[in-house]
């Protein structure tokens, strides 16, 4: 792991606040001396973003000396005047990381710091975080990869955007892993399609209303006939074993009291959701955990669902992981329908980029049988080459290996 040379660490660091505060957090952690002061140069549009950044830095990074400088994001006179008023009273070394903000903010803040520092003081340190190379670049010549030097958690990243999850989330608890593994291993031989067919014709036909799962009181009396297709024999046997059913049982009761219940809440709908597709999220999370050490992941979780009472907007995501300050977001769907798979991928792409910026990477694990074709199509049309990976049924049995390859090379 590289170290930032001491001559590039400063007592006073100016950060330009844009729509994505993650580069600002990274720059603050890398470049500010202990006990130094941050100057958050924001605009009316990014004032709340600056406040959230200030809160996260204080609560999670022990950086508590922050001052906000609100400027008009496109007014050269306003930007230069307000920056000049601050620097004339500064003591110690000064730096500017110009990754965020508008072009006008970057140009005019840079120009004032370069021209107006008093004679005899050290020259300002100008730096930029390159989203393509994951390098910190210090003008004019020094550069070094710094991806793994700053490691925000998923909750810290969400807090930067004003997102609070429901209590207990993200979840890291995998339910019925053996059954999920069995379903994953049946996937390449058409088992995923057969299971999806059973979900539509049996599970949903008996337990779903068309809008949502039936009330728990209604679900308690349902016993689902299990699929008898040979492709799913191992999966159904494993499922019965994990739920404590006799090996020869041909029905699956939804009553928690009749089963070895794998969920924290005794509500039949949680088993319905797992059978209907949540098993894939649990499996993907387990495979991410397997790959974590080798890939230097430091945080991961599933079911990222916002708390509607405390978040700025609604948000839900399947599986996510952090490698350094790079976010990996993975959408999961058992569908084999190209249109539905593409829709899931697009939603994930928007959300992940919103949270993790240009450095973020987006994955889809689905039942669509030609994942490379889908990846190529959307990468071209969305101008997202290198930022998307699609995994299909053929990848599921050894998904951890495929995920590890992606995690380590998506830089």
Q: Nearest 10 degrees: CA dihedral of 199, 203, 206, 212?
A: -80
Q: Which pLDDT tens digit goes with each residue over 322-356?
A: 999 999 999 999 999 999 999 999 999 999 999 99
For residue 389, the surrounding DSSP H or E stretch is strand 388-391
Q: What is the pTM of this model?
A: 0.95
**Token code pair at residue 176:** 């019925």
Q: Which pLDDT tens digit goes with each residue over 293-330?
A: 999 999 999 999 888 777 666 678 899 999 999 999 99
For residues 66 and 94, is the Cβ–Cβ distance under 8 A?
no
Q: Tell me, which fold does domain 6-150 have in CATH?
A: Rossmann fold (3.40.50)
Region 153-411: CATH code = 3.40.1350.10
Angular region, 141: left φ>0, alpha ψ -120 to 50, beta rest: alpha
Residue 5 CB partners (closer than 8 Å, separation 6+): 142
**pLDDT score for 89:** 86
Separation of CA 15 from chain center: 24
Beta strands in 237-342 (DSSP E): 251-253, 299-305, 316-323, 326-332
**Token code pair at residue 397:** 């049995």
* pLDDT averaged per 10 residues, the chain (length 411): 84 97 97 96 97 95 95 97 93 96 97 81 93 96 96 95 90 96 97 97 96 95 96 98 95 97 95 98 98 97 85 80 98 97 96 94 97 96 95 98 96 77
Q: In the chain, what is the straight-line distance between the N-terminal and C-terminal CA atoms, in Å?
A: 16
Return contacts of 62-65, CB within 8 angstroms, 24+ apart.
63/28, 63/29, 63/32, 63/38, 65/35, 65/36, 65/37, 65/38
Q: Outline which parts of the chain fall under CATH 3.40.1350.10.
A: 153-411
Q: Outline which parts of the chain fall under CATH 3.40.50.10770.
A: 6-150
Mean pLDDT, the chain, integer: 95
List residues bridging with 299 in a β-sheet.
322
């Amino acid at each position: 792991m590289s170290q930032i040379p001491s001559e590039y660490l400063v007592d006073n660091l100016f950060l330009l606040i844009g729509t994505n505060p993650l580069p600002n957090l990274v720059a603050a952690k890398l470049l500010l001396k202990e006990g130094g002061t941050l100057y958050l140069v924001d605009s009316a549009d990014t004032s709340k973003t600056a406040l959230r950044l200030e809160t996260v830095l204080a609560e999670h990074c022990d950086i508590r000396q922050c001052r906000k400088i609100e400027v008009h994001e496109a007014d050269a006179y306003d930007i230069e005047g307000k920056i000049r008023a601050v620097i004339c009273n500064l003591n110690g070394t000064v730096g500017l990381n110009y990754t965020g903000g508008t072009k006008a903010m970057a140009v005019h803040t840079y120009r004032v710091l370069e021209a107006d520092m008093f004679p005899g003081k050290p020259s300002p340190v100008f730096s930029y975080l390159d989203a393509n190379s994951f390098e910190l670049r210090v003008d004019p010549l020094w550069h070094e990869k710094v991806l793994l030097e700053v490691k925000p958690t998923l909750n810290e990243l969400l807090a930067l955007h004003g997102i609070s999850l429901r209590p207990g989330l993200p979840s890291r608890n995998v339910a019925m892993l053996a059954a999920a593994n069995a379903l994953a291993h049946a996937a390449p031989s058409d088992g995923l399609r057969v299971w999806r067919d059973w979900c539509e014709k049996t599970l949903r036909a008996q337990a779903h209303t068309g809008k949502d799962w039936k009330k728990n009181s209604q679900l308690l009396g349902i016993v689902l006939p299990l699929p008898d297709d040979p492709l799913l024999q191992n999966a159904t046997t494993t499922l019965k074993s994990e739920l404590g059913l006799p090996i020869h049982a041909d029905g699956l009761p939804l009553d928690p009291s009749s089963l070895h219940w794998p969920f924290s809440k005794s509500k039949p709908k949680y088993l319905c959701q797992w059978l209907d597709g949540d098993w894939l999220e649990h499996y993907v999370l387990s495979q991410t955990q397997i790959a974590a050490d080798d890939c230097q992941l430091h945080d991961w979780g599933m079911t990222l669902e916002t708390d509607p009472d405390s978040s700025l907007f609604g948000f839900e995501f399947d599986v996510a992981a952090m490698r350094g300050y790079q976010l990996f977001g993975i959408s999961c769907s058992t569908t084999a329908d190209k249109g539905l798979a593409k829709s899931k991928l697009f939603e994930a792409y928007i959300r992940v980029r919103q949270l993790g910026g240009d450095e973020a990477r987006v994955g889809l694990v689905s039942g669509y049988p030609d994942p490379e074709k889908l990846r190529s199509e959307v990468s071209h049309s969305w101008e997202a080459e290198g930022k998307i990976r699609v995994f299909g049924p053929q990848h599921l049995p050894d998904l951890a290996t495929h995920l590890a390859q992606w995690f380590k090379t998506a830089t």
